[in-house]
Amino acid sequence: MYRDNELEQFKGKINLVEFAQSLGYQVDRRESSRNSKVMRHDNGDKIVVATGQNGHGIYFSVRDDRDNGSIIDFVQKRTGASLGQTRKALRPWIDGAEVSPQQQRHPEPKPVPTSRDRQQVILAYAKTEPVQHHAYLASRGIEDSTLADPRFVGMVRQDTRGNAIFPHHDSEGLAGYELKNNGFTGFARGGTKAIWHSNNLAIAKRVVIVESAIDGLSHAQLHKNPDSAYVSIGGQMSEHQQTLLRRVFERATNREAEIVIATDNDPGGDSLAGEIQKLIPAHGQFLRSVPAKKDWNAELQHKQCSREKTALPYPHS
């Protein structure tokens, strides 16, 4: 019973992120969030560390679907140690004993507990890659320079099937992600719609609310204002998304940032704009911005087409 209890202590008390650091893994800050830590090793290994709802630290290898489990599995798969040797290696991490210089702890927050569904979303997302060019987005008029804008780096990715990926985050971290491609729109299995946003959301002087991430990219490309941040709800608004937007608006209002409601130019967009307006604090600054076409991407493509026509040489008589 004691030996079983010791294993439980290893799984629940040891911060797996800190232990992985002692074996040479480093946290990828750009890809990590409150509910998951993406970690990389110089040998090419890439793992995701999370916390189960029982408080146990768990990990998943991005390179090998068979490589996952608790800290016990982590040690044995990476060192070849027996269970007895693994116990010996882990005891200093719970009894306060001295550890070797190679095992020095680097303080790091333990990921907040997540459900199994969200863990699978986090793992699937970790297998995607940032994009510098995407054929589908290019067909919608999104330029590579827009994807390279620091506001959007890492917030547009691609999966192994070539789908454009737009991550949704909530207060716990990654909640799900949208998938877009020619004739295809989807959402991560087991994920929850939250908000997609640009990297500068916490500091921007202007927060623009759009209906889709592609509209956000389009608006940014049209207006070229680096002080603007973008938030998309990916369609109709749920109660969870309303809660998240209230928090965004409160923080924006506290720093006297302007809120721009830039939903579609149709009855649905007008109705959604009214719902969004109700979430803004009474003393918040806001305005409604309406695209000339149905949405911002349609306006972007129309302007690009107009420029191309204007640039054509007149035919010789």
Do the domains spanning 2-114 and 128-308 agree at the CATH topology level? Answer: no
For 240, residues 6+ apart whose C-beta sits below 8 A from its C-beta are 170, 192, 193, 194
Taking the C-alpha atoms of residue 16 and residue 10, their distance in angstroms, rounded to an integer, is 9
Full DSSP string of 31-58 = T-BTTBEEEE-TTS-EEEEEE-TTS-EE
Q: What is the pTM of this model?
A: 0.88
Q: What is the pLDDT of residue 103?
A: 54
CATH number for 128-308 (one of 3.40.30.10, 1.20.120.420, 3.40.50.300, 3.40.50.140): it is 3.40.50.140
| Backbone angle region of 110, left / alpha / beta, with phi > 0 → left and psi within -120 to 50 → alpha | beta
Q: In angstroms, what CA-CA distances link 19 with 32, 45, 47? A: 17, 15, 13
CATH topology of domain 2-114: DNA Primase; Chain A (3.90.580)
Q: Do residues 174 and 121 make contact, with C-beta atoms less than 8 angstroms apart?
A: yes
Which sequence spans correspond to the domains of the chain? 2-114, 128-308
Q: What is the pLDDT of residue 107?
A: 84
- Residue 113, judged by CB atoms within 10 A of its CB (0-12, 13-18, 19+), counts as middle
Taking the C-alpha atoms of residue 191 and residue 160, their distance in angstroms, rounded to an integer, is 18
Note down pLDDT in tens along the chain; length 317 residues: 556 799 999 999 999 999 999 999 999 999 999 999 999 999 999 999 999 999 999 999 999 999 999 999 999 999 999 999 999 999 999 876 555 555 555 788 999 999 999 999 999 999 999 999 999 999 999 999 999 999 999 999 999 999 999 999 999 999 999 999 999 999 999 999 999 999 999 999 999 999 999 999 999 999 999 999 999 999 889 999 999 999 999 999 999 999 999 999 999 999 999 999 999 999 999 999 999 999 999 999 999 988 777 655 545 44
For 61, residues 6+ apart whose C-beta sits below 8 A from its C-beta are 45, 46, 47, 67, 68
